[in-house]
Structure 1
Amino acid sequence: MLATPGGLPPAAQDTQWAYETKQDGQRAVVYLPGDGGLLVRARSGEDITAAYPELSPLGAALGRTPAILDGEVLALDESGRADFQSLQSRMGLAHAPARAARMAARVPVHLVLFDVLHLEGHPLVRLPYAQRRSRLESLGLDGPHWSTPGALVGHGAQALRATREYGLEGLVCKRLDSVYEPGVRSRAWIKIRNLRAEDVIVGGWLPGRGRLTGLPGAVLVGQRSAGGTLRYVGGVGTGWSEAERTELAALLRVAATDVCPFEPAPPVQGAHWVLPRLVGEVAYSTRTRSGLLRQPSWLRLRPDLTPPESAADLPDGTG
């Protein structure tokens, strides 16, 4: 069951919803057959058990009680926040168990559990969320590499504000009376992603394909470093209407140049460079450790802002 992007439920319905922290990890369904074994499957259905050997003791956590659980595999940073970049070093190792074991010692994962779909031989998917949640919490599944974080009923605005204050990815709102709909992106679950917004300088673009042929499929953006160089921070390919994309295409053609404005030049194949004169505002979730924007989306052009073209153009503080 997948969540639909949206906003908080109406205040009058607040007590009809539960609120869980949105985690930036790999969705997983966990099968506990009750014989001490464990099977972990990704959203695609792929068996990813061998990628996370530190989760194997979970197989015996319920003794001989079989269960199917829903959750998210995370890698945590020093502050206990989900770090997707670290998790990427663990993903894709299901067919390399020896390497997965070595990586488990360096980048351990943590499984957060938020739903129970089958228990003691009985399917629970037709039960309301509130009942499934109660059954899940009664299992007491908290161990060295897994836990069952709490869910807050009501107080959605406060919960969302807390995720922003603590720098968390966002909030998932779940209707208390909702059944579990496998494979469905349901309005009974609503996800709210906390986004940041910053100004960026456009330094290039990539051609679109299909219906976007002749238009920019993505723009390549950067920000000025302290030394004045334009540092590449990522590619942005979403957030425009058709009219806005057409307008942007005309502006990019006028600013075309053969010289890459980024230093160092990003390893992007097929890029068209432009003079770094266009400023835009983008929304994004987090930054990688190398400074790239994760999940960036275009918000608007900033014609009111004109970027300096080089370090020599930057203010020197002498007035």
Structure 2
Amino acid sequence: MLATLGPLPSEAVGDRWAFEVKQDGQRAMVYLPGNGTILVRARSGTDITAAYPELLPLAGVLGAQSAVLDGEIVALDDQGRSDFERLQQRMGLASAPAKAERMAALVPVHLMLFDVVFLDGRLLTGLPYAERRSLLEGLGLTGPAWSTPAAITGHGAQAWEMARDAGLEGLIAKRLTSRYEPGARSKTWVKIKVHRLADVVIGGWVPGRGRLTGLPGAVLVGERRDGLLHYAGSVGTGWSQAERTRLAELLQAVTTDTCPFTQLPPVSGARWVLPHLVGEVRYTSRTRAGRLRHPSWHRLRPDVIPGDLT
């Protein structure tokens, strides 16, 4: 079951929803047949059990009790937040168990469990979320590489503020009465992202295609540190057609043959501009290299001088 991107439920109906931290990892279904074995499948259905050897002891935790659990495999940073860039070092190793064992010592993962869809021979998908959640918590699944993070009923605004202040990616709101809909992207599960804002300097752009021919398909942006412009990422969404047309005119007026970034961005077909235009972008988080993740354009900042962004 997948969540739909949307706004935070209003306070008027907040007590009808539970709120969980949105984890940034690899979605996984965990099959525990009750015979001491475990099977972990990715969202695609691929068997990824061998990629995560630290999860193998979960096979015996429930004894002869059978269960199918839904969760997210994450790699945590130094602050205990899920870090997808870190997790990528562990993904794709199901066919290389020896390497998976070595990497498990270097980049351990943790399984965050948030639902149970089958228990003791009984299919639970028709039960409301609140009942499934109670059954899941009753299993007491807390171990060295797995846990059942808390879900908060109501108080969505406070939960969102806590997620924002902690630097988390966002929340998942789940209607207490929602059934589990396998394979569906349901409006009874809502993904609420925490967006951050950054002032950036435009240093280049990439021409668009199709209906965007002659217009910027994306702009290449940077941030000033120590008087130098460091590449921060490519922004290709967030404009109306009129805003994109206006931006094209501004970019043409400051064109140059010289890349203004300290290092050449890994982008083909780029056109460079003098670093005179400042914009504000939304983004969810940063990579360890400091680049913006999931950036989208918010607005031009004609009130800000690029040299003031040091």
The alignment's TM-score, normalised by the length of structure 1, stands at 0.93
The secondary structure found in structure 1 opposite 2:94 is coil
Q: Evaluate the alpha carbon distance shift between residue 183 and residue 301 of structure 1 in structure 2; reply closer, same or farther with a 3 A threshold.
A: same
What does residue range 1-319 of structure 1 map to in structure 2 within 5 Å? 1-226=1-226, 228-308=227-307
Question: Per-residue deviation at 1:248?
Answer: 1.7
The aligned amino acid for 2:105 is A
The aligned amino acid for 1:37 is T
2:74, 2:84 within 8 Å by CA — same for their partners in 1? Answer: yes
**What's the CA shift string for 1:250-277, capped at 9, x where partnerless?**
2222222211110022222221111111
Hey, what's the Cα distance between the residues in 2 that align with 1:93 and 1:48?
8
Identify the range of structure 1 (85-94 vs 244-253) with the bigger mean alpha-carbon deviation: 244-253
Hey, what's the Cα distance between the residues in 2 that align with 1:211 and 1:90?
39
Show structure 2 runs of 5+ residues with no match: none
Hey, what's the Cα distance between the residues in 2 that align with 1:123 and 1:299?
45
Aligned structure 1 segments of 4 or more residues deviating by more than 4 angstroms: none
The alignment's TM-score, normalised by the length of structure 2, stands at 0.95
Question: Per-residue deviation at 1:220?
Answer: 0.7
The aligned amino acid for 2:27 is R
Identify the range of structure 1 (244-253 vs 194-203) with the bigger mean alpha-carbon deviation: 244-253
Q: RMSD of the alignment, in Å?
A: 1.7
Hey, what's the Cα distance between the residues in 2 that align with 1:63 and 1:34?
6
- Percent identity at matched positions? 65
Hey, what's the Cα distance between the residues in 1 that align with 2:101 and 2:47?
16
2:174, 2:188 within 8 Å by CA — same for their partners in 1? Answer: yes
The secondary structure found in structure 2 opposite 1:277 is coil
The aligned amino acid for 1:289 is R
Show structure 1 runs of 5+ residues with no match: 309-313
Identify the range of structure 1 (137-146 vs 164-173) with the bigger mean alpha-carbon deviation: 164-173
2:224, 2:309 within 8 Å by CA — same for their partners in 1? Answer: no
Question: Per-residue deviation at 1:315?
Answer: 10
